[in-house]
Structure 1
């Protein structure tokens, strides 16, 4: 958690609203393996990180709510009695969605003022939207004593994403942000919404993120398209979700679906299996196997599920002949964002220099590189 950011948010709140606020931190997340398996009720392996959203929030004595986005220097006022999704609403829709979904469930929310800011790199695929949603529902829960459990809170955040941002996401991002455990990743069962924490000990290796600094327009529509494909294949197999599918069953309907849809469904089945193998390899401190599974995951995302892009593939390919890197893959929704790399700590500096130069030469723009630590989930910031 960025202490400087906490001070800035608190100071701005006091200046703007002349009151001492409640303070909340909600982290972004990485996902070690298991992409696009969450809405298929499968398994994923995320962890909360030490970058996120800092929120200052308190009750208001006016007849509207007022929220200030510090990073953008934008203020938005709204009436609790007339909440609707905004066209091109951006960050506003996540907050409106959280409030509206809480109201739908009969929770009494009064007017409030808020200031928030984040240090999650934009478009990096680290779930800034889930962190923002979680920070607000957590803050509102504290402020108005809504008595919501953490599970209820993440379901409200997820519905906000569905109904106000238009992205039919699974539960992984909200779960990891809310339930994160320090120095651990969570083996999350997205059907039961339960998880098992695994302490991550990478020895001489560390996780390095490389941001392509691109976000292709396909991302949101492609996400919903692929969800529709998975649901269609599940219906043809007469199962609840692809979590329940086997390769044999999928082969039995191969003639009834396009080859593209077959490959997408096959990817999900194989990725689910990779998540389970990944958890076993962690227990055995088998870093070589972790790396191989990470590379396999990227191959599936790029060649079968087709959610990668040229820039992501370039960054992954740039690692393959490097003996100091055990694995690399795209992370998140794809079509831009980050790769996650398992690299020998002593070689980070040299690799950063090499890959930055290659990327700049190839695309005429810089990539961004940063390290993250696995952290606790959403929490009140102690005064």
Structure 2
């Protein structure tokens, strides 16, 4: 969707000049459900984006417009609170975070819309939060750095959307770098960029068509199960503060005390952190086959130990596995639906998409949606309303 359409709608509704911002969604190459366990993740910002036109309006009212939903929501700055307009809550939560940081947020107008598919695991919610946070930071000259903005977006999701998400999604949207994946250490918040061989391999997403809601009870339940596992480990290893601190041997030794379900959750997280490190080492060596094997291993763990996959996602991974040029595939995102991410040799991408579409149609009698992603930079201002995406 061209930013021009968003800007034109803003001018038509509000009649003043806005700041224009793009905020990307993200993929995660590997490192799933590790972020809220102080672990490692390896995301990248992609060319599926939310666009914003935002401007101060000289009043004490916040006027929000969802371009895609053709819906609007107005509220006095002093009355900002979670609303029944679910889409508005992601934005209102950001306003509340600025207020919590001591910023007297004045009235502003905002029109937003984009092409991040909802419920496909590309973090449309984080893009919405980070885009507005960036815009307000610019307009109000508050000087927050990108990591602070990411944490504000995460807190907005916790408090206004009720999803206890980790930091990865907001971090990736704000810190993306073109042609690179970025490893984030969710314990120290240190991060490092790794070049992705985009001239040789592309990342293709296949949408299961199963809509998931991160707010589902299962997501928060997994967090609770991990917390239970840490509590068991702390009885014999008080130095363990999160699963990031635990070794596989320690988790194995606590199997009986944890019970089988909690044990499997913890085993997955410890092994997934190891797979992220293996993938980073492989990227440095340009060993993309090893990256792909780590992805397959990640999916098996998510399916069998963490139990957040679904039959459609499992089928997509198995359809991809034997195809020429496919080095790796796994489910991506919170789970229970959304997309698989597939590492495919450039020369085989078209044949891969055709084969996946055919196999999916045969099995599910439905058309497979695929997304050919390009790794892009993080949230930024757009200087020209004619820029399209």
Shift of 1:217: 5.8
One of 134, 148, 153 as aligned partner of 2:149: 153
In structure 2, the partner of 1:11 is 8
Q: CA contact under 8 A between 1:219 and 1:333: conserved in structure 2?
A: no
Moved over 4 A (4+): 216-219
Q: CA contact under 8 A between 2:162 and 2:215: conserved in structure 1?
A: no
In structure 2, the partner of 1:174 is 170
Q: Is 1:300 the counterpart of 2:301 in the alignment?
A: yes
Q: CA contact under 8 A between 2:89 and 2:160: conserved in structure 1?
A: yes
SS in 1 for 2:142: coil
**Distance in 2 between residues matched to 1:109 and 1:61, nearest whole Å:** 11
Once the two structures are superposed, the pairs formed by residues 90-129 of structure 1 within 5 Å of their partners are 90-129=86-125
Shift of 1:350: 2.0
SS in 2 for 1:34: coil
* Structure 1 residues 345-368: Cα deviation after superposition (integer angstroms, max 9, x where no partner): 222222222211221232232221
SS in 2 for 1:156: helix
In structure 2, the partner of 1:256 is 257
One of 55, 58, 70 as aligned partner of 1:58: 55
SS in 2 for 1:322: coil
Q: CA contact under 8 A between 1:108 and 1:146: conserved in structure 2?
A: no
Once the two structures are superposed, the pairs formed by residues 167-206 of structure 1 within 5 Å of their partners are 167-206=163-202
Q: Is 1:76 the counterpart of 2:77 in the alignment?
A: no
Shift of 1:202: 4.6
Q: Is 1:333 the counterpart of 2:334 in the alignment?
A: yes
Q: CA contact under 8 A between 1:242 and 1:268: conserved in structure 2?
A: yes
**Distance in 2 between residues matched to 1:198 and 1:351, nearest whole Å:** 26
**Distance in 2 between residues matched to 1:64 and 1:148, nearest whole Å:** 23
Once the two structures are superposed, the pairs formed by residues 267-286 of structure 1 within 5 Å of their partners are 267-286=268-287
* Structure 1 residues 98-121: Cα deviation after superposition (integer angstroms, max 9, x where no partner): 111211121111000010111111
5+ long unaligned stretches in structure 2: 235-239, 385-389
Q: Is 1:240 the counterpart of 2:241 in the alignment?
A: yes
Shift of 1:272: 0.1
SS in 1 for 2:251: helix
SS in 1 for 2:52: strand
TM-score under structure 1 length normalisation: 0.96
**Distance in 1 between residues matched to 2:127 and 2:329, nearest whole Å:** 25
Q: Is 1:162 the counterpart of 2:158 in the alignment?
A: yes
SS in 2 for 1:336: coil
Residues 218 and 146 of structure 1: CA distance in aligned 2, closer, same or farther (over 3 Å)? closer
Q: Is 1:369 the counterpart of 2:370 in the alignment?
A: yes
Aligned residue pairs, count = 379
**Distance in 1 between residues matched to 2:190 and 2:47, nearest whole Å:** 22
Q: Is 1:211 the counterpart of 2:207 in the alignment?
A: yes
Q: CA contact under 8 A between 1:25 and 1:53: conserved in structure 2?
A: yes
In structure 2, the partner of 1:349 is 350
Q: CA contact under 8 A between 1:171 and 1:190: conserved in structure 2?
A: yes
In structure 2, the partner of 1:313 is 314
Shift of 1:323: 3.5
Q: CA contact under 8 A between 2:61 and 2:106: conserved in structure 1?
A: no
* Structure 1 residues 26-76: Cα deviation after superposition (integer angstroms, max 9, x where no partner): 110000000001011011100111121110000113442111111111111
5+ long unaligned stretches in structure 1: none
Q: CA contact under 8 A between 2:176 and 2:378: conserved in structure 1?
A: yes
In structure 2, the partner of 1:28 is 25
Q: CA contact under 8 A between 2:330 and 2:342: conserved in structure 1?
A: yes
Residues 173 and 218 of structure 1: CA distance in aligned 2, closer, same or farther (over 3 Å)? closer
**Distance in 2 between residues matched to 1:91 and 1:130, nearest whole Å:** 12
